[in-house]
């Protein structure tokens, strides 16, 4: 796949006139060519014609980064170096967001473009009208051949390229081999939603290496089930399982975006009971839509953009409430339920309906009612349940068994497609699956399971490590930790050191933040207050200069805020609610002015799963803080914390 609008050898580029180059750029441009873009290209061509004459290599204009939904202005291969150029034509200043932008492009190549992994990459920001640059500093702060962003104006660009080539060592890049390198991205769920919503396929933005079951493969199986159900006027439900971060939500978003055809009355909806996730994804898509329209010289009101987005991603409870009021079939024939194991059981649903909806006679669990809504269609319908293991964290969450029970009770004519791993203990289906043995139209499919975490492109064993840590399997956890080379996990007793560690590790716009258990009520002395309201939209989407963003390390996120989402770098701050002892984990809740034991087995599971969620949110690395406590404060007795820290230390996590 050709990823750039224009490419040529440098010698060919120098021989071509600006008009010839501009013509090729315009032909391959996906959008209407605005005057401002045309003028920018002409100036970029003019600058590069002047500075590249001493060199041989290859040049690419408008190089696609589908994970980010953007294009690099110019990529140049000279000697052993990949130059990533971001032009700000007419600009006199080097703005921080522009520095992050060019750094992000370079990071994308370093992390996700196979043939760029081990090469020197030089991100350069060119503010064409900036004052002369006094000193050109070339450095690689993390010793991975990715240079710190270099600032340049139009006149100093030649000197910048010369200095970088003097600094870098190695053989010349093989241009044909570099071009053939696979692009294997692992986008955040926010990046993925924006890319899919803007027409990219799941293949564009996901890994396709042999170590992972391809997300496209799972998506194709679900698409086949949808096509078959529509063709034969059947009703089907399928259960997609996966380890934390494997891409279940990505599969759901992909299906929702590809199975919409208003001309043929085909509508799909992505449903989630995760309120923060829905709000964040909607806001991200709205902001992106407004931004793209503005870049094309058009305007769209935020409210108008929101009305389009909200039909695509909905809160499951709003969907349920609409179906309560309107007895007709919903407009959607395809409904995708994210984190389906978190749907409410009969007791929780009935209680909610009685208290909040003035409906005292409601006697369905949430799964049973949701299936009944799609069952109203006279022809066909498909439900896709995206199932995470060990992630129930709230009272009344039914697990997957209630979906199966509901199908057995009330929907005998539905086809059932099951992931072959749904029998695993962490999915909580239990013995209820045995009841399907005598039922026709039950099909198990291996391709409905995603076995490899895609959240962390640096370490696929993180979810396994966390499972072993929580299961108190020290030897296996130690062995797994030894297999994780590029994903740093460190521990400390000092929150300040942890914050500094995050800031040193993160590059470009890589997001970092503090996450804690919702039961962590004795972290107030460290300015961590779980009762203080946090706006997840601001925390996840706002920039480094916003005090409400995760970057400021002031507001914190709990498991309820962050489930289904991720950070690049996380600080997990561990309180005395979940304590290690030689007899196993102890579960505590802070009531009034003291800690009290949690005895209810269901609540213990929720608390353990809360820490599972917190410990699997980071894509690139994390620091775990276990405070030292305070001998003068009986609610923060050091013995509440010391054993947990020593346990983590025994696994082999390095200290800072």
* CATH number for the domain harbouring residue 222: 3.40.50
User: Residue 421 gets which letter from DSSP?
Assistant: T
**% of the chain beyond a pLDDT of 70:** 92
For residue 196, tell me if it sits in a domain. Answer: no
Residue 398: the pLDDT is 65
For residue 455, tell me if it sits in a domain. Answer: no
Least confident of 64-78, 143-157, 393-407, 640-654: 393-407
Residue 457: the pLDDT is 63
Query: Tokens standing for 206?
Result: 């996901």
Q: What is the pLDDT of residues 338-352, one digit of tens each?
A: 988 888 888 888 888
Residue 454: the pLDDT is 63
Per-residue pLDDT band for 395 (boundaries 50, 70, 90) equals low
Kindly state whether residues 103 and 225 are assigned to the same domain.
no
Kindly state whether residues 333 and 244 are assigned to the same domain.
yes
Q: What does DSSP say about strands 334-338 and 489-492: parallel, antiparallel, or unpaired?
A: unpaired
Kindly state whether residues 433 and 563 are assigned to the same domain.
no
Reduced to 3 states, what is the DSSP secondary structure of residue 116? helix
Cβ(150)–Cβ(125) below 8 Å: yes
Kindly state whether residues 160 and 220 are assigned to the same domain.
no
- According to DSSP, the residues that pair with 60 across neighbouring strands are 7, 75
Tell which wins on pLDDT, 134 or 422.
422
Please give the residue range of the domain that contains residue 250.
Answer: 214-274+313-450
If 0-12 CB within 10 Å is exposed, 13-18 middle and 19+ buried, where does residue 441 land? middle
User: Residue 423 gets which letter from DSSP?
Assistant: T
Per-residue pLDDT band for 96 (boundaries 50, 70, 90) equals very high
Kindly state whether residues 474 and 418 are assigned to the same domain.
no
Tell which wins on pLDDT, 103 or 242.
103
Residue 33: the pLDDT is 77
Residue 210: the pLDDT is 45
Per-residue pLDDT band for 1 (boundaries 50, 70, 90) equals low
The mean pLDDT of 169-176, rounded to a whole number, is 94
- Averaging pLDDT over each range in 34-38, 318-322, 331-335, which range is the top one? 331-335
The mean pLDDT of 599-603, rounded to a whole number, is 92
If 0-12 CB within 10 Å is exposed, 13-18 middle and 19+ buried, where does residue 46 land? exposed
CB proximity list for 105: less than 8 A, separation 6 or greater: 65, 68, 70, 72, 84, 86, 123
Residue 393, pLDDT > 80, answer no
For residue 157, tell me if it sits in a domain. Answer: yes
Residue 445: the pLDDT is 92
Kindly state whether residues 108 and 242 are assigned to the same domain.
no
**% of the chain beyond a pLDDT of 90:** 62
Residue 211: the pLDDT is 45
Reduced to 3 states, what is the DSSP secondary structure of residue 582? coil
The mean pLDDT of 259-281, rounded to a whole number, is 82
Residue 396: the pLDDT is 61
Kindly state whether residues 498 and 418 are assigned to the same domain.
no
- Exposure on the CB side of residue 103, measured as CA atoms within 13 A: 18
Residue 436: the pLDDT is 82
Residue 632, pLDDT > 80, answer yes
Kindly state whether residues 334 and 427 are assigned to the same domain.
yes
Last residue of a domain, one of 135, 163, 180: 180
Residue 309: the pLDDT is 84
Laid out side by side, the sheet with 81-88 consists of 6-9, 58-65, 70-78, 81-88, 120-127, 150-152
For helices 302-310 and 275-295, give the axis angle rounded to 10 degrees: 130
Residue 565: the pLDDT is 87
The mean pLDDT of 493-518, rounded to a whole number, is 97
Residue 29: the pLDDT is 86
Phi and psi at residue 552, to the nearest 5°:
-75, -15
Per-residue pLDDT band for 612 (boundaries 50, 70, 90) equals very high
Per-residue pLDDT band for 450 (boundaries 50, 70, 90) equals confident
Residue 469, pLDDT > 70, answer yes
Last residue of a domain, one of 405, 421, 450: 450
Residue 421: the pLDDT is 84
If 0-12 CB within 10 Å is exposed, 13-18 middle and 19+ buried, where does residue 13 land? buried
Q: What is the pLDDT of residues 207-230, one digit of tens each?
A: 555 444 567 788 899 999 999 999
For residue 321, tell me if it sits in a domain. Answer: yes
**CA 23 to CA 38: how far, in whole Å?**
10
Residue 265, pLDDT > 50, answer yes
For residue 252, tell me if it sits in a domain. Answer: yes
With 0.85 as the threshold, say if the pTM is over it.
Answer: no
Last residue of a domain, one of 450, 474, 499: 450
**CA 155 to CA 126: how far, in whole Å?**
10
Q: What is the pLDDT of residues 278-301, one digit of tens each?
A: 999 999 989 988 887 877 777 888
For residue 307, tell me if it sits in a domain. Answer: no
Kindly state whether residues 147 and 221 are assigned to the same domain.
no
Q: How far is CA 190 from the centre of its chain?
A: 6
Kindly state whether residues 10 and 130 are assigned to the same domain.
yes
The mean pLDDT of 385-395, rounded to a whole number, is 69
Q: What does DSSP say about strands 584-591 and 578-581: parallel, antiparallel, or unpaired?
A: antiparallel
Query: Tokens standing for 171?
Result: 């053989």
For residue 189, tell me if it sits in a domain. Answer: no
User: Residue 359 gets which letter from DSSP?
Assistant: -
For residue 95, tell me if it sits in a domain. Answer: yes
Residue 335: the pLDDT is 95
The number of domains in the chain is 3
Reduced to 3 states, what is the DSSP secondary structure of residue 579? strand
Kindly state whether residues 270 and 164 are assigned to the same domain.
no
Kindly state whether residues 59 and 132 are assigned to the same domain.
yes
Q: What is the mean pLDDT of the chain?
A: 89
Reduced to 3 states, what is the DSSP secondary structure of residue 266? strand
Residue 417, pLDDT > 80, answer yes
């Amino acid at each position: 796949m050709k990823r750039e609008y224009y490419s040529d050898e440098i010698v060919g580029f120098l021989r071509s006139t600006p008009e010839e180059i501009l013509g090729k750029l315009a032909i391959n441009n996906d959008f209407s060519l605005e005057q401002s873009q045309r003028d920018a290209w002409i100036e970029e061509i003019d600058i590069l014609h002047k500075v590249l004459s001493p060199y041989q290599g290859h040049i690419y204009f408008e190089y696609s980064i589908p994970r980010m939904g953007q294009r690099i202005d110019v990529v140049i291969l000279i000697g052993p170096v990949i130059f990533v150029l971001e032009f700000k034509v007419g600009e006199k200043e080097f703005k921080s967001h522009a520095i992050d932008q060019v750094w992000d492009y370079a990071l994308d190549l370093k992390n996700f473009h196979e043939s760029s992994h081990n090469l020197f990459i030089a991100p350069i920001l060119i503010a064409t009208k900036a004052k002369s640059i006094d000193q050109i500093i070339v450095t690689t702060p993390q010793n991975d051949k990715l240079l710190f962003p270099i600032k340049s104006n139009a006149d100093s660009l030649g000197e910048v390229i010369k200095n970088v080539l003097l600094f870098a060592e190695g053989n010349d890049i093989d241009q044909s081999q570099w071009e053939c390198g696979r692009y294997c991205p692992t986008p955040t769920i926010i990046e993925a939603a924006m890319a899919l919503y803007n027409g990219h396929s799941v293949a564009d933005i996901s890994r396709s290496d042999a170590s992972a079951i391809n997300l496209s493969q799972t998506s194709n199986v679900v698409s086949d089930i949808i096509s078959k159900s529509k063709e034969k006027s059947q009703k089907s439900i399928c259960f997609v399982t996966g380890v934390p971060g494997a891409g279940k939500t990505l599969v759901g978003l992909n299906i929702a975006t590809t199975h919409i055809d208003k001309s043929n009355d085909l509508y799909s909806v992505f449903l989630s009971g995760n309120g923060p996730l829905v709000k964040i994804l909607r806001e991200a898509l709205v902001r992106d839509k407004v931004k793209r329209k503005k870049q094309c010289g058009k305007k769209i009101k935020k409210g108008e953009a929101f009305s389009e987005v909200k039909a695509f991603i909905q809160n499951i409870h709003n969907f349920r409430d609409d179906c309560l009021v309107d007895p007709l079939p919903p407009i959607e024939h395809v409904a995708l339920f994210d984190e389906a194991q978190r749907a409410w059981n009969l007791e929780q649903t009935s209680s909610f309906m009685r208290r909040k909806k003035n409906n005292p006679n409601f006697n369905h669990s949430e799964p049973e009612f949701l299936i009944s809504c799609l069952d109203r269609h006279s022809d066909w319908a498909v439900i896709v349940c995206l199932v995470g293991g060990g992630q129930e964290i709230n009272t009344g969450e039914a697990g997957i068994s209630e979906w199966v029970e509901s199908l057995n009770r009330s929907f005998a004519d539905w086809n059932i497609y099951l992931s072959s791993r749904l029998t695993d203990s962490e999915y909580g289906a239990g013995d209820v699956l045995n009841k399907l043995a005598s039922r026709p139209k039950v099909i198990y499919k291996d391709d409905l399971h995603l076995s490899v975490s895609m959240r962390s492109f640096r370490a696929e064993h993180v979810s396994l490590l966390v499972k072993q840590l929580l299961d108190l399997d020290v030897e296996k956890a130690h062995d797994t930790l030894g297999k994780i080379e590029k994903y740093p996990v460190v521990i400390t007793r000092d929150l300040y050191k942890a914050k500094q560690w995050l800031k040193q590790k993160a590059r470009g716009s890589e997001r970092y933040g503090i996450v804690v258990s919702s039961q962590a009520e004795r972290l107030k002395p460290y300015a961590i207050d779980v009762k203080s309201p946090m706006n997840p939209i601001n925390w996840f989407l706002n920039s480094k200069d916003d005090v409400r963003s995760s970057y400021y390390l002031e507001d914190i996120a709990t498991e309820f805020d962050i489930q289904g989402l991720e950070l690049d770098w996380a600080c997990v701050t561990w309180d005395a609610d979940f304590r290690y002892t030689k007899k196993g984990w102890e579960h505590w809740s802070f009531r009034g002015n003291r800690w009290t034991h949690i005895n209810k087995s269901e609540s213990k599971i929720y608390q353990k799963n809360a820490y599972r969620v917190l410990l699997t949110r980071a894509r690139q690395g994390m620091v775990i803080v276990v405070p030292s406590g305070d001998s003068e404060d009986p609610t923060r007795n050091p013995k509440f914390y010391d054993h947990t820290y020593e346990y983590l230390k025994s696994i082999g996590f390095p200290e800072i």
